[in-house]
Structure 1
Amino acid sequence: MAFLEQINNDIKAAMKAREKEKLEALRGIKKVMLEAQTAKGAGGELSDGDAMKIISKLAKQGTDSANIYKEQGRQDLYEQEMQQVAIFESYLPAKMSDEDLTAAVKAVIEQVGASSMKDMGKVMGIASKTLAGQADGKDIADKVKALLA
């Protein structure tokens, strides 16, 4: 619950400071977290890891939307979306550098004892859990493919 409490406190602070864009982004985060918390089978609890996944997903969706707006020449909507993405990303841990990602994936490969592409599923399962929020799933998959090939 610590993460949801932090979001609630930041919503109050944004309301007091009259930061419209930040308030809108934080309310979006809270809405999705509450939906996940009350979903069937969720048990009413939301771990910090799940909260990170939710925020990461929102940031990725926002980036995708912003790119579509930019392609369509809607600079105003692009900028608005990128402001929200920046707010989402401020709650996420810093992304791993390429060297750090390579080292982490190599460590997982050694841990699992993977030697070929047949073992990619095992490696991806552990790497995705270990590196959640620190690296994009596509980047992890690309790195695993490159190292196992």
Structure 2
Amino acid sequence: MSDLKATITEQMKDAMRAKDKARLGTIRLILAELKRIEVDERIELDDARVLTVLDKMVKQRRDSITQYEAAERPELAEKEQQELEVIKTFLPQPLSDAEITQIIDDAIAESGASSMQDMGKVMAIVKPQVQGRADMGKISGLVKQKL
């Protein structure tokens, strides 16, 4: 079992002991998604893949919050926001703007990218370094600016 998955499981037990229903529900959602992927693909997830799943769940929550706020459903947006905060606790420390810029600059130099056609090469280098630590949409926009 990956270290991150073990941590999530331990947090579930802590939430049960504390009778924190909201946190427990979100952690169970995370573990259910991880288990679904393991069963579907017949693999054991490593930390990198768990981070990818958590990143996807964060993105889904942000999209839902935007849609609920547009539909004037603040109670549903609040529930999604609470889930988002719980999921974020399992992600590594977010990168600062300076760190993100440095990673992108290094990737451009390493790949020898000179135009938008080289964006895939740059993103392939950048993505593993920032996975779970920065919004990939923001990263993509910054790479486009630099190229």
**TM more than 0.5:** yes
1: CA distance, partners of 2:67 / 2:30: 21
Distance 1:118 1:80 in 2: 41
Q: Distance in 2 between matches of 1:77 and 1:117?
A: 39
1:39 match: secondary structure? helix
Calculate percent identity across the aligned residue pairs.
34
Contact 2:52 2:132 in 1 (8 A): yes
Shift of 1:97: 2.1
* Comparing 80-89 and 125-134, the one that deviates more: 125-134
Name 2:12's counterpart in structure 1: 11
Q: What stretches of structure 1 of length at least 5 have no aligned partner?
A: none
Normalising by structure 2, we get a TM-score of: 0.93
**2:100 partner SS:** helix
Cα distance, 1:110 vs structure 2: 0.7
Alignment RMSD: 1.2
- Counterpart AA for 2:39: T
| In structure 1, distance between residues paired with 2:115 and 2:75 | 47
Letter of the 1:142 counterpart = G
What is the aligned partner in structure 2 of residue 35 from structure 1?
A: 36
Letter in 1 for 2:5: L
Offset, 1:115:
1.7
1:46-57 equivalences in 2 (<5 Å) = 46-57=45-56
| Distance in 1, Cα, partners of 2:118 & 2:63 | 31
Q: 8 Å contact 2:111–2:121 — kept in the other structure?
A: yes
Q: Tell me which residue corresponds to 2:70.
A: 71
Counterpart code for 1:27: R
What is the identity, as a one-letter code, of the residue corresponding to 1:35? R
The 5-angstrom pairing of residues 1-149 of structure 1 reads: 1=1, 2-40=3-41, 43-148=42-147
Deviation at 1:66, TM superposition (A): 1.4
Per-residue deviation, 1:116 = 1.8
Q: Count how many residue pairs are aligned between Structure 1 and Structure 2.
A: 146
Alpha-carbon offset, residue 16 of structure 1: 1.0
CA contact (8 A) 2:8 2:90 kept: no
Instruction: Tell me, in whole angstroms, the C-alpha distance in 2 between the residues paired with 1:105 and 1:133.
Output: 16
Q: How far apart, CA to CA, are the structure 1 residues paired with 2:122 and 2:129?
A: 10
Which piece of structure 1 moves more, 19-28 or 67-76? 67-76
Residue 109 of structure 1 and its aligned partner are, at CA, apart by 0.6
Opposite residue 46 of structure 1, the aligned amino acid is L
Report which structure shows greater RCO (CA 8 Å, sep ≥6): 2
Larger deviation: 78-87 or 130-139?
A: 130-139
- After the TM superposition, which segments of 4 or more aligned residues of structure 1 sit over 4 Å from their partners? none
What is the deviation of 1:121?
1.2
